[in-house]
Amino acid sequence: MSHVTSPTPIIAMKDIVKSYMMGEVEVLATRGISLSVQKGEFVAIMGMSGSGKSTLMNIIGCLDVPTSGHYRLDGVNIRHLDDRALSQIRNKKIGFVFQGFNLISRMAAIQNVELPMAYAGVRTKERRKRALAALNMVGLGDRLDHFSSELSGGQQQRVAIARAMCTNPALILADEPTGNLDSRSSAELMTLFSGLHDQGRTIVMITHEPDIAEYASRVVILRDGAIVSDKPQSSSRAVSYELEMSGAPLLGQVRAQD
Amino acid sequence: MSAIFGNFFMAVRGIGSNWLRTFLTMLGVLIGVASVIVLLAIGTGSSQSIEKSIQSLGSNTLTVFSGSRSGSSSGTQIRNSTLNIASVTALSSSVNDPDVKSVSPVVTTSLSATYDGTSYTTSVIGSTSSYLTAENYTVSAGRSISHSDVVNHAQVIDIGSSVASALFATGSDPLGKQVQLGSSDFTIVGLLASKGSSGLSNEDAVVIAPYTAVQDQLTGESQSFSELLVQGKSSSTLSLAESEVESTLASLNDTTVSSLPFTVIDSASLLTAATSSSKTFTALLGWMAAVSLLVGAIGVMNIMLVTVTERTREIGIRKAIGARKVIILTQFLIESMVISFLGGICGVFAGILVSRFKIDGVKPVLASYSIPLALGVAISVGIVAGFYPAYRAASLRPIDALRYE
């Protein structure tokens, strides 16, 4: 790694292999990925579908465990952890932002934001205070009691960010956060992520859109389950070039496919 | 603790989100619980009415009938196999039968009683004054038939309250009036207090006269009795009295107890037999109710499985943001418990309501144990029927659940 190493990286992965059995055939989703993310970094993980980026995201998010390799999240070795311990890690150390927003539709915005704190055992009053602060921060202070059916896609995703933020996690993990948004909402959302990055938050974002990846401080490109490029962000041109080399379609073509 | 509490509200919200389906599921539990309460009330009500009617026969009494218990003995072996005054005298002896309090000969017939053009069909019992005591009759006005009435073949009667109200206008005094029974006139000397309706037969539709007068005027010249009513000294010595009666009658008729041409029936044994058969009846009704509760339980389980499938994605989200297995498990368990508990509460009210009405001639009597029983079963139904779906929800892997469309 060419990066400055600080005492404990947020993500420390070594030789992560994940294999699935497809009938009789063993399929390698990741073939020995090693990745280190320091506190305060904003990393975009890119790649085509089938490149292993979803598998990597599930492992980073402690939703899945690797077949072999070592993974430490904020200093905690997540191998050999049981369901209960993994739940706690997800609750305390990770804030998820999903492509499909994944709010619970039967609950109002503020209740959605309060939910992870409820699971963490935060008291009701404190929970409400922190949820209010988080929703104000994402600019939805006036939409507290709206249900997700009453919110636009961009607004729903901002509720999801408030939900991810309020437990003060070590890592914000975003899986195609702009995948279901129009370009204007995408830009607003990415401004929000940039703001969080400026505040010193650690963000890992999976995306296949080069113009979204431009907001990151570092871009990792996957291909066939392995890292083919890992560079600090300099310009959009650089990203496009790397993508072209990895076989990913160019910016305009991606948009056309959507 | 607060997590469980929050879970409770979450569960209630989950239920409210599809209230029609929840209501229909609750209806299954409601009907089950209500039928447990109603059917047990019917069972209790009918067994109480049977017990009451048997108790009104008199509790410490034995009834002696002509005819062998087995029914197989042929008449040739039996001399003198009728119940007559000699049997009464023999049984009344305190030497042979120390546990017998009284022996009342009984002659019965059914006749039309007429007064002033009004007729009423009633059973006429010819006996002695001890019959009234043994049968728990009390005289509310006038006097009971006496020993001298029996000796004198007096045509006097005590009438039951149903007979009195059928023949006489309210307010008029039946005492001293002449009532025509068959072709003879009898004078009313006493009114019997009502024993109340006991379901099986009307104990108040009765006329009691000295047996001598009944034999003279109504049943012909036969000197035999249809039965003897023997009152024991206490219920605890009734079985002793029974064997004394049997051996006395055996020696009187030169035969053995086993080939006695009479049948002695103990009212307590009738009560025991009737109680056990009504218990069987109640248990049967209980089982029927249990089956309908089971159907309700299957309904709850079915709906919970559907709910879990429908909300797979929600479960995935909850797990991804840190819900432990036990949280998901309790959320769905609480949901199914709330459904079955609400259904149970409504079922208790429905059951109490239906039990107020007479069903098929039986006045249901709420069994005090049936309400906690039905509610307890309803909640257990919620736990048992909810557990498998809840466990399935809790065991979903978050990545699979999140991917579920």
Quick: pLDDT tens for A40-90. 999 999 988 888 888 899 999 998 888 899 999 998 898 878 888 888 999
Say if residues A97 and A157 touch (Cβ distance below 8 Å). Answer: yes
The domain limits of chain A are 39-65+82-257
Residue A258 has pLDDT above 60, yes or no: no
How far A172 CA lies from chain B's nearest CA (Å)?
12
Same-domain status, B74 and B222? yes
Helix, strand or coil, per DSSP, at residue B379? helix
Last residue of a domain, one of B270, B285, B300: B270
Residue A251 has pLDDT above 50, yes or no: no
Taking the C-alpha atoms of residue A9 and residue A74, their distance in angstroms, rounded to an integer, is 6
The reported pLDDT for the residue numbered A173 is: 94
DSSP 8-state symbol, B261: S
Same-domain status, B70 and B35? no
Taking the C-alpha atoms of residue B49 and residue A112, their distance in angstroms, rounded to an integer, is 61
* Substitution target from B321, B324, B331 for chain A, most A beta carbons within 10 A: B321
Q: Do B3 and A121 touch (CB under 8 A)?
A: yes
Last residue of a domain, one of B228, B245, B270: B270
Helix, strand or coil, per DSSP, at residue A113? helix
Same-domain status, B163 and B312? no
Same-domain status, B207 and B70? yes
What the block records as the tokens of B43 is 């069972």
Task: Report the candidate in A39, A85, A34 with the shortest Cα–Cα distance to residue A62.
Answer: A85
- Smallest Cβ–Cβ distance between B17 and the set A90, A106, A119 belongs to A106
Sign of torsion, CA B115 B120 B121 B122? negative
Mean pLDDT, rounded, for B121-140: 88
- Domain hosting B370: range is 2-53+273-403
Residue B74 has pLDDT above 60, yes or no: no
Q: What share of chain A is helix, strand, coil (3-state, %, to 5)?
A: 40, 25, 35
Q: Which amino acid is at B143?
A: R
Same-domain status, B81 and B22? no
Same-domain status, B234 and B283? no
Say if residues B253 and B247 touch (Cβ distance below 8 Å). Answer: no
- Helix (H), strand (E) counts: chain A: 9, 10
Same-domain status, B222 and B297? no
Same-domain status, B340 and B307? yes
Same-domain status, B220 and B285? no
Sign of torsion, CA B230 B232 B233 B235? negative
Q: What is the total count of domains within chain B?
A: 2
- Smallest Cβ–Cβ distance between A63 and the set B314, B324, B398 belongs to B398
DSSP 8-state symbol, A235: -
The reported pLDDT for the residue numbered B198 is: 52
Cβ–Cβ contact A120 with B under 8 A: yes
What the block records as the tokens of A13 is 């992965």
DSSP 8-state symbol, B26: H
Same-domain status, B349 and B391? yes
Mean pLDDT of chain A: 85
pLDDT tens, B248-265? Answer: 888 888 888 877 888 888
Confidence of residue A1 (pLDDT cuts 50, 70, 90): very low
Say if residues B139 and B158 touch (Cβ distance below 8 Å). Answer: yes
Last residue of a domain, one of B270, B298, B327: B270
Which whole-number Å values give the CA distances from B159 to A232, B52, B113, B115, B121, in the listed order? 115, 22, 10, 13, 12
Longest CA–CA separation in chain A, Å: 55
How far B43 CA lies from chain A's nearest CA (Å)?
46
Cβ count near A141 (within 10 Å): 12
Task: Considering only CA atoms, give the Rg of chain A.
Answer: 18
pLDDT tens, B132-170? Answer: 888 888 898 899 999 899 899 899 999 998 888 888 888
Residues in A closer than 8 angstroms to B314, CB to CB, are: 104
Same-domain status, B290 and B370? yes
Q: What share of chain B is helix, strand, coil (3-state, %, to 5)?
A: 55, 20, 25
Same-domain status, B103 and B231? yes
CATH number of A39-65+82-257: 3.40.50.300
Interior/surface letters B186-205, b for 16+ CB within 10 angstroms, e for the rest: bebbbbbebbeebbeebbbb
How far B30 CA lies from chain A's nearest CA (Å)?
27
Which whole-number Å values give the CA distances from A39 to A34, A70, A89, A170, A205, in the listed order? 17, 19, 17, 8, 14
